[in-house]
Chains A and B, each alone.
Chain A
Amino acid sequence: MARTVTTNRKLVFTVIGWAIGLTLFFPILWTFLTSFKTEGEAIATPPSFLFFDWTLENYLTVNDRSDYFRHAINSVVISLGSTALGLLVAIPAAWSMAFTPTKRTKDILMWMLSTKMLPAVGVLVPITLIFRDTGLMDTRTGLVIVLMLMNLPIIVWMLFTYFKEIPGEILEAARMDGATLGKEIIYVLAPMAVPGIASTLLLNIILAWNEAFWTVLLTTNNAAPLTAMIAQYSSPEGLFWSKLSAASMLAIAPILVMGWFSQKQLVRGLTFGAVK
């Protein structure tokens, strides 16, 4: 008797769990399906779920007409570039805050986090003016710099939480054994810091990939990444829902793959390290 109750309860929880997962996932599934329909089938009533003529035409059209690869390369360059530059600035900063904390460390961290609360429109015009005057408008270099700066607080913060977990006693021990600062960093600290740096790297690539405020407002054509392409997607001849769906799938595919392998890091980073 007791066993039937638990089995039933288990079944209920499984059903609830899967229902939640499927409901939240459904819009993405629907976009995926639409991307394989012809424009005519996409607007058919009642809508068909699986039994339609699957076609790859939309993907080919998107690639031809919207120059998918050029936008994708921009996305890759911008997200990798801003991440690399960000790590270059953030690693030393997080390092020194984690290992040589002073009275001000906490203030610096709070001040840094508070810049993340800043509404982006608050700095829109000054940054646009700088871009106009320096010729950075619609260049990948410009976006690399801006996205690096926008994500810097979160990178420093994340690295700091990882570095803090490296025990200081190990450094003491290395120093007792006569390791110099250089050796200390190369042989002791670096190997322990690599996982944290890797996680931060993954998260920041995703954040930069998803960014749409600056990429839309600071590009016109040359440097526009995938988010800007999607934001401005339209078709000269009427219906474009399947093509838009195909474009959307192409824009999120890299994120889905990377996100799958970095779920934990993603959660940790987007919650400012509150969830481990």
Chain B
Amino acid sequence: MQGSELTRAKVRSALVFLAPMLLALALAAGWPLGRTLWFAFTDASLTDNGYSFIGFENFWNSEWGGLLEDGNWWQAVGNTLYFTFVSVALETVLGVGIALALDVPFRGRAIVRAAVLIPWAIPTVVSAKMWGWMLHDQFGLINDLGMSLGLLDQPVAWMANSATALTAIVAVDVWKTTPFMALLVLAALQMLPRDIYEAARIDGIHPVRVFFRVTLPLIRPALMVAVIFRGLDALRAFDLMYAMTANNESTMTMSVFARQQLVDFQDVGYGSAAAALLFVMVAVLTAAVLTLGRVRLTGGAR
């Protein structure tokens, strides 16, 4: 009797402790999101106070097409998907490579590890400006190095050229985020039992084979978590593109597109529709990953 009384009191106080956080998150995420979803079905604009419900017209209509017939939106979708796939793939491969290199003890490893962390710890806008400077067509270091090493015939206008701008942005993201992958993989590597390697070495198995047959399968769960996190993050990418090329169509992601509609064109209804589609896409992918892949996102907690 006394025990259950005590338990109930504990549960009650636990709820009191939780309430502020739940309330804050509901206010920060739930309510604004709900409003965005509502705006997506209206013709609201920031310049005009009145608005009305127009159903799915922002998404598709026979008059001016809507989002689904907007070439710019499709380009933004394409850019986002290209950016996500290419950058996450490169970051995964390079991250595993770097993790393997940093897993071996060598002199100054602690310093190197800290240095590797820096690109990832500094603000993205600063990285964007730094790289904007290094990629400058006339005075940038990249063109200068490329020419003196004979890799480039003539200076390339990296950010102005629509063919190279997105590639350059992918490169900057790879520079910034590969350390994240490397550190996650490194942590997984360091938890592997060393005697497996001993056994493989004594059996005279080639290191490459050991990597594909032993190491990779063992670190796969950790690697999957990292890839999923990065992938979901990349789908929302905004600050790198916005800081490097502003509203340039050739690098515009879905987030940048939505911001332009919402802020520059003050077209709340249309922009909200674009934001809503992005949200739905991320939400569906998250749910799919969580259920189908049965990946334990909370794996670190144990």
Contacts and interface: CB of A to CB of B under 8 A. Distances in A.
Interface of A: 10, 13-14, 16-18, 20-22, 24-25, 27-28, 30-31, 34, 42-43, 45-47, 89-90, 92-93, 95-97, 99-100, 102, 106, 108-115, 117-127, 130, 146, 148-150, 152-153, 156, 160-161, 164, 206, 209-213, 216-217, 226-227, 230-231, 233, 241, 244-245, 248, 251-252, 255-256, 259-260, 263, 266-267, 270-276
Contacts of B226: 271, 274
A96 B117 contact: no
A126 B11 contact: no
B298 A110 contact: yes
A46 B102 CA distance: 34
Contact of B125 (A22, A42, A230): A230
A43 B108 contact: no
Interface in B62-117: 98, 101-102, 104, 106-109, 111-117
B70 to A, nearest CB: 16
Contacts of A259: 117-118, 121
B123 A117 contact: no
Given A96-B18, A97-B18, A118-B33, A252 B123 contact: yes
Nearest to B111: A21
B286 A114 contact: yes
Interface of B: 10-11, 13-18, 20-22, 24-25, 27-29, 31-33, 35-36, 39, 46, 98, 101-102, 104, 106-109, 111-127, 129-131, 133-134, 136, 138-139, 141, 144, 148, 175, 178-180, 183-184, 187, 222, 225-226, 229, 232, 235-236, 238-239, 243, 254-255, 258-259, 262-263, 268, 271-272, 275-276, 278-279, 282-283, 286, 290, 297-302
A43 B143 CA distance: 12
Nearest to B109: A17
Nearest to A111: B25
Nearest to A16: B101
A109 B121 contact: no
Given A17-B112, A121-B262, A267-B117, A152 B255 contact: no
B33 A122 contact: yes
Contacts of B116: 20-21, 24-25
Contacts, number: 281
Given A121-B271, A272-B229, 19 more contacts: A17-B112, A20-B112, A21-B115, A31-B133, A45-B144, A46-B144, A92-B21, A112-B25, A117-B236, A119-B282, A121-B258, A124-B262, A124-B275, A149-B28, A259-B118, A263-B117, A266-B117, A270-B120, A274-B222
B162 to A, nearest CB: 23
B183 A267 contact: yes
Contacts of B122: 28, 210, 252, 255-256
B238 A213 contact: yes
A255 B16 CA distance: 36
A271 B262 contact: no
B101 A30 contact: no
A113 to B, nearest CB: 7
A92 B263 CA distance: 37
B141 A121 contact: no
A119 to B, nearest CB: 4
A96 B112 contact: no
A89 B18 CA distance: 8
30 contacts: A14-B106, A17-B102, A21-B116, A25-B116, A27-B119, A28-B122, A45-B144, A89-B21, A92-B16, A100-B14, A102-B14, A110-B298, A119-B258, A120-B238, A121-B271, A121-B278, A122-B32, A122-B33, A122-B275, A125-B35, A160-B301, A212-B125, A226-B123, A245-B130, A256-B118, A271-B226, A272-B229, A273-B300, A274-B187, A275-B184
